[in-house]
Amino acid sequence: MNGDLRPVYRLPLLILGFLALGLGVGAGLARLGWNFPLPSPTLLPLHGPLMISGFLGTLISLERAVALGRLWAYCASLLTALGGAALIAGAPVAAGAGLMTAGSAVLVIASLSVYLRQRAIFTATLALGAASWLAGNALWLGGLPVPEVAPWWAGFLVLTIAGERLELSRFLPPSRAAQRLFAAIVASLLAANMLTHIAPGVGRQLLAVALLALTLWLSRYDIARRTVKESGLTRFIAVALLAAYVWLGAGALIGLLSGGMFTGSNYDATLHAVLLGFVFSMIFGHAPIILPAVTRFAVAYHPAFYIHLALLHISIALRLAADLWGDGGLRGLAGLLNAGAILVFVLNTIGGVVRGARAGRRVA
């Protein structure tokens, strides 16, 4: 199992991931009262798992397998994609959760293998992110409700993104003291997640503090602060990243001022500031680079990419305002616009691939 998987065979994994995204967003819309045609109402409570493990987990595992270039590493993506498909097909939740847990275990092994090849703080952060995902999936499989595993799932995404940003800063490496501070923030985030099961109030507050500290660290050391002065795609990516930090900070601040992350009356606001505002802005920024690396199809940048980016940020601002004001009608509208931003992103990206193909650009 030493060879790599040819790009054409990666496409089914990508398609299953996007199917989970489509139905995951649909389940979220249905929870807001929109009449989205879901194959079954049993998908309503599965919105979170489909988004996190079915879509993001499948894509992140696929990207890590491509980076590792080992056939076995693709099992992570395959298992989570099948887990998502099983949930969509109406299989028992334990079957989908079991496949997703197995997939995340393979990602942990793949990430440890990357760490052993290159012992660095960013590879350690990626491995800890994968371990956080495994913890969340295993607890969910064990019967814990979603709100109790949400800190682990958020930890997976936040640490994966932080690790990847740190990797890119190696050209302008932060000082040793800054790297030690980063390690302390990661450790406190994981400690906070463990604490949520022993002393939930303290754990969720500490998580807000850790996320706020991480926001400040990333905003200070991310090379996006410099690259935002460039033009074209480089600038677009930097704008998306800097905007993502605004939502990570806003989510953490709301959590800090209102009793902690992912709990209470600000459950929806803190969750979606981080999982949609931070994570999806990062995805929008990185997609024109990651998609070609995975599929070998170039994505030609176009200024129209700012449309989905702007729609995402406007719709999240609306959603947070609706959550804070307790305005159900506005929250429903904001949710629809959130979904619209993701749809425009998918269409714009397909447009970028078509333009790239017309221009005869294929990644070597």
Among 249, 335, 352, 356, binds ligand HEM (CB under 6 A): 335
In angstroms, what is the minimal distance from the CB of 291 to ligand HEM? 18
Q: Does 57 bind ligand HEM (CB under 6 A)?
A: no
Interface map 136-155 toward ligand HEM (x if CB under 6 A): ----------xx--x-----
Q: Does 338 bind ligand HEM (CB under 6 A)?
A: yes
Provide the residue type at 105 as one letter: A
The residue range among 182-190, 212-220, 333-341, 343-351 that interacts with ligand HEM, by the rule CB under 6 A, is: 333-341
Nearer to ligand HEM, 169 or 348 (CB): 348
The residue range among 48-56, 60-68, 92-100, 196-204 that interacts with ligand HEM, by the rule CB under 6 A, is: 48-56
Provide the residue type at 23 as one letter: L
> Rg of the chain's alpha carbons, rounded to an integer?
19
Q: Does 204 bind ligand HEM (CB under 6 A)?
A: no
Name residue 362's beta-bridge partners. 297
* Side-chain half-sphere exposure of 93, counting CA atoms within 13 A: 18
Instruction: Select from 108, 122, 116, 114 the least CA-distant residue to 76.
Output: 108
Nearer to ligand HEM, 83 or 174 (CB): 83
The residue range among 35-43, 88-96, 124-132, 275-283 that interacts with ligand HEM, by the rule CB under 6 A, is: 275-283
Among the residues of the chain, which ranges form H helices? 7-31, 47-49, 58-68, 74-88, 93-117, 121-141, 146-168, 176-195, 200-221, 224-227, 232-257, 267-272, 279-295, 305-325, 328-358
The footprint of ligand HEM on residues 251-270 (CB under 6 A) is: 267-268
What HEC string does 77-121 produce?
Answer: HHHHHHHHHHHHCCCCHHHHHHHHHHHHHHHHHHHHHHHHHCCCH
Residues 6+ apart with CB under 8 A from 21: 50, 51, 54, 55, 342
Among 14, 279, 290, 291, binds ligand HEM (CB under 6 A): 279
Q: Does 18 bind ligand HEM (CB under 6 A)?
A: no
DSSP 50: I
Q: Does 322 bind ligand HEM (CB under 6 A)?
A: no
Among 12, 39, 45, 173, binds ligand HEM (CB under 6 A): 45
In angstroms, what is the minimal distance from the CB of 136 to ligand HEM? 10
Residues in the chain: 364
Provide the residue type at 153 as one letter: W
Element containing residue 238 per DSSP (H, E): helix 232-257
For residue 298, give both structure tokens.
């170039």
Among 128, 159, 244, 271, binds ligand HEM (CB under 6 A): 271
> Which residues contribute to the site for ligand HEM (CB under 6 A)?
25, 28-29, 31-32, 45, 47-48, 51-52, 56, 146-147, 150, 267-268, 271-272, 275-276, 279-280, 335, 338-339, 342
